[in-house]
Amino acid sequence: MRTPYRFAVVLALAVLPLSACGLSGDDDPSPTPGAPNPTVPATTPSSTASPTPSGVAATLPADLRTRPPVAAAIADAAERAKVSPDEVVIAAWSPVTFSNGSLGCPKKGMSYTQALVEGEVLLLRTDSSLFQYTARTGGPFNYCADPSSDYTVGG
């Protein structure tokens, strides 16, 4: 059984090894080329820092909620959950590399290009539901009722 919770688990596992690392004042904070750089879950609609399961604080991009594709996904999740858009929380967002043209949401009987696709995964939460949305980088998000794990976090 595939659920949107898989994304949260994969994202947490991608960040877990980083919890043992720390930067001193002399360390170079620039990312290692080719290393994943996921943005980890936040627990409020704002972009304030929140502890992750591994204890590392992280923030979402400050303008994420107001980006048109994200705002449209929030409106869609609110409609699906029958709540106000203000009650929809961005649980996680990350750039990813999808393994094919299904963008992590394959439909039975469909064929997809077998090429890497740069994209984004968005996980939205209400009090009673969790919704996963996927998109090509910069494109509109599409709701995915049965997401796969055919992508790598860190795009």
- The domain total for the chain is 1
Q: What is the mean pLDDT of residues 83-94?
A: 96
Listed in sequence order, the DSSP H helices in 88-143 are none
Nearest Cα residue to 39 out of 66, 71, 7, 74: 7
Q: Does 22 reside within a domain?
A: no
Q: Per-residue pLDDT tens for 38-77?
A: 333 433 333 333 333 333 335 788 999 999 999 999 999 9
Rounded Cα–Cα distance for residues 70 and 140 (Å): 8
Per-residue pLDDT band for 104 (boundaries 50, 70, 90) equals very high
Q: Does 84 reside within a domain?
A: yes
Q: Does 99 reside within a domain?
A: yes
Q: What is the pLDDT of residue 149?
A: 83
The residue type at 65: R
Q: Does 92 reside within a domain?
A: yes
Domain that holds residue 115: 1-12+61-155
Q: Does 37 reside within a domain?
A: no
pTM given for the model: 0.65
